[in-house]
Amino acid sequence: MDRHAAIDADFLARFPGGFQDPDWLTLARKHRSYAKAEALCQSELTRDKLDAALASGRLADTTQTCRQIISLATTVSTFEKIAFRNYLDQRNLNLPFVQALRDVLHDFGPDSFAAYVDTLAMARMDPKANAAKWPIVSCFLACFDPQRHVCVKPTTVKKVAARLGVDIHYQSRPGYECYRAVQKMVLDFRGRSAVAADVDNVLAQAVMYCAV
């Protein structure tokens, strides 16, 4: 049995009915707020809406939406939620944040990703407002386009990578090379998994995480 099939087997040993297993459905109900975060991100962080907010300089609705998304996301810890809230409380950071978020969501690439992380690190000297953390950085991307993007929870994703024998080039500061490696790992798993073949990246990662 190859490593990808072994993860499928571990998932099915725990949830024999797959995504319709009663225990899986109970677990999924605990994460219902994440679906709300996805819906909010996809409806309110469109290119047109972000461009309009930036052009007008009226950013309050956008930043409030971002607060709600992070608050609803079960992939972000309580301490990280507090750090993001404190980060946005520094109003001088709102404009660069919204600009960087717009660029990474709609023109994703190494430069926009690096600028996005740099912007989230602008309050890094305050440990209670350092938002440049993997779960925060990846949350907006994964919520906006879960077919393309991934969530990165460092401890868990490193365990999955070790089990699959994948070098994700992990560093504690979020970086493009690592992010792309995690993307590739998840897409490879979807391509080889019987369980996760027809689901998005976020749900595929949930399957992978059940095996570690």
Own/partner contacts of 7-12, CB < 8 Å, gap of 24 or more, are: 7/163, 7/164, 7/189, 7/193, 7/207, 7/208, 7/211, 8/193, 8/194, 8/195, 8/196, 8/207, 10/210, 10/211, 11/195, 11/207, 11/210, 11/211, 12/195
**Rounded CA gap, 207 and 50, in Å?**
33
In a 3-state reduction of DSSP, which class is residue 67? helix
Q: How many H-runs (helices) and E-runs (strands) does the chain carry? A: 12, 0
What pLDDT does residue 127 have?
Answer: 86
Tokens matching residue 197: 């073949």
Full pLDDT tens readout for the chain, 212 residues: 689 999 999 999 999 999 999 999 998 888 889 999 999 999 999 999 999 999 999 999 999 999 999 999 999 999 999 999 999 999 999 999 999 999 999 999 999 999 999 999 999 889 899 999 999 999 999 999 999 999 999 999 999 999 999 999 999 999 999 999 999 999 999 999 999 999 999 999 999 998 88
Tokens matching residue 86: 């404190």
What pLDDT does residue 27 have?
Answer: 87
What pLDDT does residue 1 have?
Answer: 67
Per DSSP, the residues of 5-26 read: HHHHHHHHHH-TTGGG-HHHHH
Q: Letter for the amino acid at 176?
A: Y
pTM of the model: 0.94
Phi/psi at 189 (nearest 5 deg)? -65, -45
